[in-house]
Structure 1
Amino acid sequence: MFFTIWIISGIIAGWLTGLVVKGRGYGLIGFLVIGALGGIIGGWIFRMFWLLSSNWIGNIFAALIGGVILIAIVRTIRR
């Protein structure tokens, strides 16, 4: 159940991630994919530190953090 919520929150967070990092070259679909993967990464990281959220805002925040981490990693690899 948490996995599905992380992905849905990640799609919303993908759009927010695009606003935060001012990414170029990914496009709308790219940011949606990054947001979904960020949702998985953020949810996993937050669970490691026992930071469980009980609402959508917390899930979206976790996905936003995961998306920003993912884009930072991708940008580092591209260079």
Structure 2
Amino acid sequence: MNFLIWLIIGGIVGWLASLIMRTDASQGILLNVVVGIVGALLGGWLISPLVGVGTINQGISIGSILVSLVGAVILLAIVNLFRRGRVR
């Protein structure tokens, strides 16, 4: 059951990050889930030690969703930087 919730929350976080970075038209549901989960891992590695909040991988709360969202936005910014040569 936790795996299913992890996928759903990861998809929502990835979708919100793609809306923020304006890449929603170029990615589908599967890529939104991947971006959300990998962004949560990236956020947990970079941001979580600074603010003391876990990610959606450790437990679901408002703080963990925000950390995961920031990680997903950073991930999309890095992808845009390599794909287009600039961050949107």
Q: TM-score under structure 2 normalisation?
A: 0.69
More helix by share: 1
CA deviation vs aligned residue, 1:21-52 (integer Å, no higher than 9, x gap): 22131211111100110010111112331422
Aligned to 1:27: 28
1:16 is the counterpart of 2:16: yes
Distance in 2 (alpha carbons) for counterparts of 1:67 and 1:73? 10
Distance in 2 (alpha carbons) for counterparts of 1:61 and 1:68? 10
Distance in 1 (alpha carbons) for counterparts of 2:43 and 2:10? 9
Amino acid at match of 1:58: G
Aligned to 2:75: 70
Higher RCO, 1 or 2 (CA under 8 Å, sep at least 6)? 1
1:40 aligned counterpart, secondary structure: helix
Number of positions where the alignment pairs a residue of Structure 1 with one of Structure 2: 75
Distance in 1 (alpha carbons) for counterparts of 2:11 and 2:41? 11
With 33-42 and 52-61 compared, the bigger mean Cα shift is at 52-61
Structure 2: 5+ residue stretches without partners: none
On the 8 A contact 2:43/2:67 being kept in 1, the answer is yes
- Rg larger in 1 or in 2? 2
1:56 is the counterpart of 2:61: yes
With 44-53 and 11-20 compared, the bigger mean Cα shift is at 44-53
Structure 1: 5+ residue stretches without partners: none
